[in-house]
A and B are shown apart, each in its own frame.
Chain A
Amino acid sequence: MDRNLPEGEGPVHVPLGHIVANEKWRGSQLIQEMQGKIKLVFEDGLTSADFYLSSRSCILYITEADLVAGNSYRKRIVRVRNSGNLQGIVVVEKTQISEQYFAAIQKFTVLDLGMVLLPVANQMEASCLIVQLVQEQTKEPSKNPFLRKKRSMLSELSLVRTVQQIPGVGKVKAPLLLQKFPTIQRLSNASIQELEGVVGHTVAQQIHAFFSQPR
């Protein structure tokens, strides 16, 4: 593996569907919960992140004790954020004790740094969430309903609705106008005389005024 960066923070190789965990988590409840659900690889010398979901995405785990102890966790978060093409997800233990510090870490992580923050109550919840994150990362992007391209509605119907918003134009006149002036732009440039070929004098004036009057 390519390891030419000083702190051993080069790109971490993560096989698909695996998770690379910082050595310090070995034997923890979090790891025990994950075992059997996902393949784990332990690695030494990971200084900033606790888990790698892929070579481009990692998890920083902030414990209840970290939160209560002060703001030193911020340095770790900033280091991950500054590491270029690495997406950092901050998982934080939000308990009855640490709850009062949560608003501050949320503001710092999400609003100031623009990173992702997810609260958990304990290591058991964290393990479920991390497994879910790995599953999300391994499935195809098109399986994510928010990344799917939506099909567009037929524009004819929308056009009729748009033209109906012009004062004096209803269900009947809208398609008639569009038949003669087939785009909104053409309709907007129609003269009163041209419009009178389709609608009466009063409505023709109304339509013309709607488009050309300064608003």
Chain B
Amino acid sequence: SGTPCSNSPPHLAEAHTALRLPQAGKRACILVDSREITSGLEVISSLRTVHGLQVEVCPLNGCDYIVSNRMVVERRSQSEMLSNANKNKFIDQIQHLQSMFQRICVIVEKDREKAGDTSRIFRRTKCYDSLLTTLVGAGIRILFSSGQEETADLLKELSLVEQRKNVGIHVPAMLNSSKCETLQFYLSIPNISYITALNMCHQFSSVKKMANSSPEEISTYAQVNPQKAAEIYGYIHYIFDMQMLPNDLNQGRLKSDS
């Protein structure tokens, strides 16, 4: 029942709270890419144990952390940012994230120091400065972390700020098998993030309902801005033209036709 439980004994009240639907002040949820299990184990366990956040490990396909319906966080080691060799890869990755997310934050994390290792002394490079200023110029947030534990703390803070702005993650990441099929379908829409696909899974009663929605409905249920909603709407209504299909696929078709 939804009655206030001020009269219940304390242990009952506690059980009641646990069952109640999410409300303000509830646990924040963060989606973590499965690759982070190898590279950021301490981040994940800090998020869970120190900060008590709900952490869901999902195949995010290269997005390190999703902290809200619109924000992704890219975790980068400082040494990677310092060297010119990784510059283009980094730019590609950020552009990839830009196609899916409204807001991006980069956490620059100091490399772990090994005893007696003097080669890791931080020497600021022009490449590093230019990457930072390019990010600033594009309005991408940058945070600096001294290690994995601090990174977890920053992620928690980011998710809390986003929650206060009413864009927190409110859907469960766990899915039954038929929902999994639907998720894969939504994920194949170009430039769609995992959290958007997840929202669509939970908020549309059927795929048919989604395919017949107006841009406004898509914006509301998928929790995306009107621009992204229009893009999704455009895709659902895009008229397929067989002749535009790359040759190998098309030719295969023609052969099987004859």
Q: Give the interface residue-count category, chain B.
A: 35 or more
**A111 near B178 (CB under 8 angstroms)?**
no
Distance of B1 from chain A, by nearest CB (Å): 27
How far apart sit A180 and B122, CA to CA, in the bound complex (Å)? 61
Contact of A185 among B141, B184, B211 (CB under 8 A): B211
Chain A residues whose C-beta falls within 8 Å of the C-beta of B184 in the assembled complex: 165
Distance of A114 from chain B, by nearest CB (Å): 8
Surface stretch bound by B, among A2-10, A14-22, A124-132: A124-132
Surface stretch bound by B, among A42-50, A73-81, A151-159: A151-159
Chain B residues whose C-beta falls within 8 Å of the C-beta of A145 in the assembled complex: 91, 94-95, 134
**B137 near A144 (CB under 8 angstroms)?**
yes
Chain B residues whose C-beta falls within 8 Å of the C-beta of A215 in the assembled complex: 178-179, 182, 201, 204-207
A116 at the interface (CB under 8 A from B): yes
How far apart sit A129 and B126, CA to CA, in the bound complex (Å)? 8
Contact of A146 among B132, B134, B240, B249 (CB under 8 A): B134
**B144 near A106 (CB under 8 angstroms)?**
yes
**A167 near B99 (CB under 8 angstroms)?**
no
With contact pairs A172-B256, A188-B211, A188-B212 given, residues A106 and B143 touching in the complex (Cβ less than 8 Å): yes
B115 at the interface (CB under 8 A from A): no
Chain B residues whose C-beta falls within 8 Å of the C-beta of A187 in the assembled complex: 211
B25 at the interface (CB under 8 A from A): no
Contact with A along B85-121 (1 / 0, CB 8 A): 0000001001100110000000000000000000000
A32 at the interface (CB under 8 A from B): no
Chain B residues whose C-beta falls within 8 Å of the C-beta of A165 in the assembled complex: 181, 184-185, 187-188
Distance of A175 from chain B, by nearest CB (Å): 5
Contact of B240 among A121, A178, A188 (CB under 8 A): A178
Chain B residues whose C-beta falls within 8 Å of the C-beta of A146 in the assembled complex: 91, 94-95, 98, 134-135, 137-138, 140
Chain A residues whose C-beta falls within 8 Å of the C-beta of B91 in the assembled complex: 145-146
B133 at the interface (CB under 8 A from A): yes
Chain B residues whose C-beta falls within 8 Å of the C-beta of A28 in the assembled complex: none
How far apart sit A157 and B243, CA to CA, in the bound complex (Å)? 11
Distance of B125 from chain A, by nearest CB (Å): 10
With contact pairs A110-B143, A132-B130, A158-B235 given, residues A211 and B207 touching in the complex (Cβ less than 8 Å): yes
Nearest to A125 among chain B residues (CB) is B124
Chain B residues whose C-beta falls within 8 Å of the C-beta of A213 in the assembled complex: 178, 206
With contact pairs A110-B143, A146-B134, A172-B256 given, residues A160 and B181 touching in the complex (Cβ less than 8 Å): no
Chain A interface SS verdict (over half): helix
**A162 near B134 (CB under 8 angstroms)?**
no
Distance of B255 from chain A, by nearest CB (Å): 11
Chain B residues whose C-beta falls within 8 Å of the C-beta of A176 in the assembled complex: 253
Contact with A along B215-258 (1 / 0, CB 8 A): 00000000000000000000111111110111001001100100
Chain A residues whose C-beta falls within 8 Å of the C-beta of B134 in the assembled complex: 136, 144-146
How far apart sit A184 and B240, CA to CA, in the bound complex (Å)? 9
Nearest to A164 among chain B residues (CB) is B188
Most chain-B CB neighbours within 10 Å: which of A110, A137, A213? A110
Known: A132-B132, A172-B256, A213-B178. 18 other contacts (CB 8 A): A116-B142, A117-B142, A118-B136, A120-B124, A132-B126, A132-B133, A145-B94, A145-B95, A146-B134, A158-B189, A158-B235, A160-B249, A165-B185, A184-B237, A185-B212, A187-B211, A210-B182, A211-B211
Interface residues of B (CB under 8 A from A): 91, 94-95, 98-99, 122, 124, 126, 129-130, 132-138, 140-144, 146, 150, 153, 157-158, 161, 178-179, 181-182, 184-185, 187-190, 201, 204-208, 211-212, 235-242, 244-246, 249, 252-253, 256
- Listed by A's residue number, 27 A-B pairs whose Cβ atoms lie within 8 Å are A110-B142, A117-B142, A129-B129, A133-B136, A137-B137, A150-B95, A150-B98, A154-B246, A156-B245, A159-B238, A160-B249, A161-B188, A165-B188, A172-B256, A175-B253, A178-B240, A179-B240, A182-B239, A182-B241, A183-B236, A183-B239, A185-B236, A187-B211, A189-B208, A210-B181, A211-B206, A215-B182
